């Protein structure tokens, strides 16, 4: 009953989201088709991706506090985007450099983890934190050196947004659907991995190889989303945690529900961002952070992994 209610509420949230905005519930057909629909579709894809990636990271690191940005992906993308904005490049180039920055951060984390012998998952998180601080420092330097207009653009990008969503962006992100399918195909292995490395290995799962494949799959997915939408926080932590409370740890149920819940959460948050202070819009990353901050503190207080 609880699962059915959540699914219905998610679909309702997604379906009503296009009708929120400064133009009211009856915008012109051009506004509805060319602006609101692609924006909502981008929110669905971005929210579903961030939630799915958060679920995988929480499984890999055995922690409900893990997020898609744990390993410095967002800071690497932010550095790439800030560098392009500060240099005055076009939005297409900003997207490309953000993606490149995220991939560089991923490569650094994995290279250090791979080179160090007997490196634990906790060590990998520490490497990610160090990389995150390094790129964040470079980002602050760029903001300091940029002129006022460019610095404001950088800050606006860092807040996370769906305002620039277009059908071209959706086409660019379409390959993410293959990652969705791949992770769903690994449902049984993820179930075993959640029980512990020893049990998974005894059941024939190549744990290190599986973690490596999942790490690169979700990292590329996160990098792609961040390059378009900016670093939208907390969606990847809140959604899978709530879904796990509803359906448990069976990943054949958890994966689709996490995608749906993340999509609904982000699209509805964006709808709220459009109507709270009309005609201005609040960046959607602000709304998700306002929800995620208290939620994170609650998880931290309840977690035994302090």
Digit-coded pLDDT (tens) for 267-302: 999 988 888 887 778 888 888 888 877 877 776 676
Residue 76, SS3 per DSSP: helix
What does each of the 306 residues of the chain score in pLDDT, given as a tens digit? Answer: 678 888 888 888 888 888 876 655 556 677 778 888 888 999 999 999 999 999 998 888 887 777 777 778 888 888 988 898 888 887 778 888 888 888 898 888 888 877 776 667 777 788 888 888 899 899 889 988 888 888 888 888 888 888 766 788 888 888 888 999 999 999 988 888 888 777 887 787 888 888 888 888 888 888 888 888 888 888 888 888 889 888 888 899 999 999 999 999 999 999 888 888 877 788 888 888 888 778 777 766 765 544
Digit-coded pLDDT (tens) for 202-251: 787 888 888 888 888 888 888 888 888 888 888 888 888 889 888 888 89
Domains: count for the chain: 1
User: Read out DSSP for 2-32?
Assistant: HHHHHHHHHHHHHHHGGG-STTTTS--HHHI
Q: What is the pTM of this model?
A: 0.89
Domain that holds residue 290: 2-302
Domain holding 258: CATH number? 1.10.3470.10
Find the radius of gyration of the CA atoms of the chain: 19
Task: Report the pLDDT value the prediction gives residue 306, as an integer from 0 to 100.
Answer: 45
- Cα–Cα distances in Å, from 198 out to 134, 192, 195, 203, 205? 35, 9, 8, 9, 10
For the purposes of burial, counting CB atoms within 10 Å of the CB of 271, is it exposed (0-12), middle (13-18) or buried (19 or more)? buried
């Amino acid at each position: 009953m609880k699962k059915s209610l959540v699914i219905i509420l998610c679909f309702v949230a997604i379906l009503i989201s296009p009708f929120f905005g400064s133009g009211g519930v009856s915008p012109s057909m051009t506004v509805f088709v060319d602006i609101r629909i692609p924006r909502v579709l981008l929110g669905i894809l971005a929210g579903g991706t961030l939630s799915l990636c958060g679920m995988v990271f929480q499984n890999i690191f055995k922690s409900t506090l893990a997020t898609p940005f744990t390993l410095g992906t967002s800071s690497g993308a932010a550095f790439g985007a800030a560098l392009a904005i500060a240099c005055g490049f076009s939005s297409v180039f900003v997207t490309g450099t953000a993606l490149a920055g995220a991939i560089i951060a991923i490569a650094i984390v994995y290279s250090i983890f791979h080179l160090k012998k007997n490196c634990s998952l906790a060590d990998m998180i520490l490497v990610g934190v160090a990389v995150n601080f390094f790129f964040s420092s470079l980002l602050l330097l760029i903001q300091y050196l940029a002129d006022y207009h460019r610095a404001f653009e950088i800050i606006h990008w860092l807040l996370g947004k769906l305002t620039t969503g277009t059908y071209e962006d959706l086409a660019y992100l379409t390959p993410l659907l293959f990652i969705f399918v791949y992770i769903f195909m690994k449902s049984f292995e993820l179930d075993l991995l959640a029980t512990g490395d020893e049990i998974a290995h005894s059941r024939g799962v190549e744990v290190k190889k599986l973690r490596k494949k999942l790490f690169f799959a979700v990292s590329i997915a996160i990098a792609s989303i961040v390059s378009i939408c900016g670093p939208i926080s907390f969606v990847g932590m809140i959604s899978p945690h709530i879904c796990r409370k509803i359906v448990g740890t069976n990943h054949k149920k958890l994966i689709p529900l996490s995608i749906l819940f993340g999509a609904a959460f982000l699209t509805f948050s964006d709808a709220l961002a459009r109507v709270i202070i009309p005609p201005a819009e609040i960046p959607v990353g602000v709304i998700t952070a306002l929800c995620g901050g208290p939620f994170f503190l609650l998880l931290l207080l309840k977690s035994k992994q302090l």
